Chains A and B, each alone.
Chain A
Amino acid sequence: MLATTPQPHNAPEAHKLVEHLFRTKAGELTARLCRIVGVGRMELVEDVVQEALLSALKHWSYHGIPENPVGWLFTAARNRALDRFRHEKLASDKAKLIAREIEAALPERPEAGFAAELGDSQLRLMFALCDPSLSPESQASLILKTLGGFSVPEIARAFLAKESTIAQRLVRAKHTLVEAEVSLDQPVDLLEERLATVLQVIYLLFNEGYNAYRGENLIRYELVNEALRFARLLVGHPLGRRTEAYALLTLLALQASRLPARVDANNNLVLLARQDRGKWDRKLIAEGFHYLQLAAVGETVTGYHLEAGIAACHAMAPDYVSTNWRQILEYYDALITIDNSPVILLNRAVALSMVDGATAGLSALEALISDPRLQRYYLYHAARGDLLVRLQKFEPARAAYETALTLTSSEPERRFLQGQILACRRT
Chain B
Amino acid sequence: MPQFAFLFHDGDWSKLSPDEMQAVVQQYIAWVGRLRDQGFFVDGNKLADSGRLVRMTNGVVTDGPYAETKETIGGYFIVETESIEQAIALAKACPSFPHGGAVEVRPVDGD
Q: Which residues of A contact B (CB under 8 A)?
A: 1-2, 4-8, 10-14, 16-17, 20-23, 25-26, 50, 53-54, 56-65, 149-151, 153-154
Contact A11 B17 (CB under 8 A): no
Number of A-B contacts (CB under 8 A): 100
- Say yes or no: is B46 at the interface (Cβ < 8 Å to chain A): yes
CA distance A68 to B48 in the complex (A): 21
CA distance A152 to B12 in the complex (A): 17
Contact B17 A151 (CB under 8 A): yes
Contact B39 A153 (CB under 8 A): no
Residue of B1, B18, B24, B32 with highest tally of chain A CB at under 10 A: B18
If A12-B32, A63-B46 touch, whether A150 touches B21 (CB-CB below 8 Å) is: no
Contact A5 B39 (CB under 8 A): yes
Contact B33 A14 (CB under 8 A): yes
Query: Which B residues between 22 and 38 are near A, CB-CB below 8 angstroms?
Result: 22, 24-26, 28-29, 32-33, 36
If A20-B19, A22-B19 touch, whether A50 touches B14 (CB-CB below 8 Å) is: yes
**Given the complex, which residues of B lie within 8 Å of A13, measured CB to CB?**
29
Q: Which residues of B contact A (CB under 8 A)?
A: 1, 10, 13-22, 24-26, 28-29, 32-33, 36, 39-46, 49, 74-75, 80
Contact A17 B25 (CB under 8 A): yes
CA distance A367 to B20 in the complex (A): 50
Additional A-B contacts beyond A17-B22, A65-B29 (15; CB < 8 A) = A1-B80, A8-B41, A8-B43, A17-B26, A23-B18, A54-B14, A58-B13, A58-B46, A61-B24, A62-B44, A149-B18, A150-B17, A151-B16, A151-B19, A154-B19
**Given the complex, which residues of A lie within 8 Å of B45, measured CB to CB?**
10, 62
- A286 → chain B, closest Cβ, in Å? 29
